Structure 1
Amino acid sequence: MADTLRPQWPAELIEKAAAIRLLALDVDGIMTDGTLLFSASGDEMKGFNILDGLGIKQVMAAGINVAVITGRHSPLTEKRMNDLGIPHLMQGREDKKVALRELAGRLEIAPHQIAYMGDDLPD
């Protein structure tokens, strides 16, 4: 009975997913809800969802490289990525396509082996 409850994924989708060697993510709007919070003194605050962190750690445990490419510089982002053990953090990169190509070249990963998630025009 349990097998009848499992979704039947198309073979083509399974094949594409199996080839993924790099997951690259934006930060604001992807790893956060997109809200930028500032204190009265101008300090920036961000809210990261702990469930995203768990999922990212599971992706890394499966042997998939994880990278974060963001157009902004943020010490909070750096701390969160360090806490998660994400080895590839590229901040201040407005042209994310160029940044992703550079990283893929260094890691010797082909475009069809990359999963990327962003939420706005620079992505």
Structure 2
Amino acid sequence: MTTPADPPAGAPPIALSPEEYERVQASPEFQELRRRFRTFAFPMTGAFLAWYLLYVLLSTYAVDFMSTPVWGNVNVGLLLGLGQFVSTFLITWLYVRHANRSLDPAADRIRDEMERGEI
């Protein structure tokens, strides 16, 4: 049972001023959280885009290679295309693991410190 003082589910428990949010954003803890996110997200995004571009370029300019049969009617292009789906799921799994281990605990600490007024 909630009391009138309890915030609605999902709402922040306290309202912070823009200055307080700016102070949190400038804190070393928040900067470290941003660094952890960026050191994973940017390289992974670049690698995936390069892999996707390679697939598109091979499909356009290396038709003979992409149509090379592997077994039966399955060719290299089909395998690389299916590899796009596999790599998408792999990247998603890696990000969730990274977030659970590295990002979420740090974000929870920052939120708790914000709510207590320590940052």
- Confirm or deny a common fold (TM above 0.5): no
Q: In proportion to residue count, which structure has more strand?
A: 1
- Pair member with larger Rg: 2
TM-score by length of 2: 0.28
Q: In proportion to residue count, which structure has more helix?
A: 2
